[in-house]
Structure 1
Amino acid sequence: MHQHENRSARRILVVANETVESHILHEAIRADVDRNNAEILVVAPALNSRVRHWVSDEDEARHAAKARLSRSIARLVRDGVDANGWVGDADPLQAIDDALHFFPADRLIIATHPEGRSNWLARRLVVRARRRFRLPIVHIVVDVARRNEYVVEAA
């Protein structure tokens, strides 16, 4: 569990990779900024195939994550959001932990693919993050194939 110092602005940690450019995610971030004068950090874990990870070849995954993250941050900045971001560990739970050491967040926003297409949901990322970090979490589901995006839960 991470302790937070008193601040006037809220800090929101956003964790997303292939979903990082979604419309609903950007709207949720903008709403937090408008409502809470929030500081935003977006972390895109460098997802990799098991074979590439096993042979320690993460260059392609990091490059792809960095490109998506750059486009996402540029869009947020164009919309008036002061956001920063970085490419995180391939394990999203570890990426969250790493980020919280430098950016003690008040809340997490986790964006995933839908059930059945999401490795993160199959590995119970949202449940595990809630237990481990004890922070309020907003879970956003982005179904690119169906052009469907929605908030599953906010707690």
Structure 2
Amino acid sequence: MSEERTVVLVVANETLTGAELIEAVRRRNEESPIRAVVVAPVNEPRAGYVVYEDSRRAAAGRRLDSTVEALRAAGIPAHGGVFHAGPLDAVKDILAQEHIDEIIVSTHPAATSGWLRRNLVDEIRKVAGERPLEHVVADVAARTGAANVLVVANETVLGRPLLDRIRARAREGQASFLIVSPQSDAHTAEHPEAERRLRAALSELRAEGIEAHGQIAHPDPYTAAMQAIHDERIDEVIVSTFPGERSGWLRRDLVGRLRSDAKVPVEHVIVEAAQLQEVAA
């Protein structure tokens, strides 16, 4: 007769491969046998929409596969999936569909965790009801040295100085790039020119093996950047603008405001109009 196992829901995204999370699940299995259901939520931006959404899902899927394999290698039955939803909605969906006895949620440390800034662990604890919930902090960045770099650019996103700086940063150390292109017109639902530029930049970088994702975001660049910093783990920011008076972003002191408020290093890359690449129609 097979041994009955406690079903543990494991919720994480960037910290899925964290040694702290894997160890916590193994430790729980040593107390009594468990079966792990692993969920990797992929957040949507609060404004705008994701370009190359498949790359975000693929990155989450690779982390999930690695974690499931590690748990199975430790003798823990495990399966899981990538959810196109935030962590709270993902947990609600799983609880409605499957029998879950306990929950383990993994996040980055408080200083860099978008989930903690949004109080998502507490919100998940509420929907968990009487189910035990363990919160595991996994400092993946400190262990691997990998950085999440936010790039804020719109018309200059195909500028040679910006693309070269992204390439140089990728050579300096392991990094993933989230390129945010603020909408040019807040009153229209579609932004074909901005999307074509962003897709072209992402295609070029990804063809070179650079992990890059992108999204069309809130029309105000400061708001778009701060929303990304609030929602994601962001370690560095690169802002790209035209020079001097030509740049409305500089006239609004975007770089200075981000350096004051972002609490992470902010680099400014200037792109001249003559340094822009053409994008195919």
- For 2:178, the equivalent position in structure 1 comes to 41
CA distance in 1, matches of 2:226, 2:188: 20
Q: 1:97 aligns with which of 198, 208, 226?
A: 226
**Is the Cα–Cα contact under 8 Å of residues 229 and 262 in structure 2 kept in the other structure?**
no
The C-alpha deviation readout for 1:98-130, integer Å capped at 9, x for no partner, is 212332211100000111100000000000011
- For 1:58, the equivalent position in structure 2 comes to 188
CA distance in 2, matches of 1:87, 1:124: 21
Paired AA for residue 142 in structure 1: V
- Is 2:106 the counterpart of 1:3? no
CA RMSD of aligned residues (A): 1.8
Structural mapping, 1:139-150, within 5 Å? 139-145=268-274, 147=275
Paired AA for residue 219 in structure 2: A
- For 2:89, the equivalent position in structure 1 comes to none
Query: 1:101 aligns to what SS in structure 2?
Result: helix
- For 1:151, the equivalent position in structure 2 comes to none
- For 1:23, the equivalent position in structure 2 comes to 160
**Is the Cα–Cα contact under 8 Å of residues 160 and 271 in structure 2 kept in the other structure?**
no
Runs of 4+ in 1 over 6 A off after TM superposition: none
CA distance in 2, matches of 1:11, 1:34: 14
When the two structures are superposed, what TM-score results if normalisation uses the length of structure 2?
0.47
The C-alpha deviation readout for 1:24-75, integer Å capped at 9, x for no partner, is 1111111111211011100000122xxxx4xxx2235x22211111111001
> What is the CA-CA distance between 1:94 and the residue it aligns to?
0.7
CA distance in 2, matches of 1:29, 1:15: 12
Query: 2:244 aligns to what SS in structure 1?
Result: coil
Structure 2: 5+ residue stretches without partners: 1-109, 114-138, 277-281
CA distance in 2, matches of 1:77, 1:118: 28
**Is the Cα–Cα contact under 8 Å of residues 237 and 267 in structure 2 kept in the other structure?**
yes
When the two structures are superposed, what TM-score results if normalisation uses the length of structure 1?
0.82
Q: What's the % identity of the aligned pairs?
A: 34
- For 1:69, the equivalent position in structure 2 comes to 198
CA distance in 2, matches of 1:23, 1:89: 24
Query: 2:210 aligns to what SS in structure 1?
Result: coil
Query: 1:59 aligns to what SS in structure 2?
Result: coil
Q: Which has the higher contact order (CA 8 A, sep 6+)?
A: 1
Larger Cα-atom Rg: 2
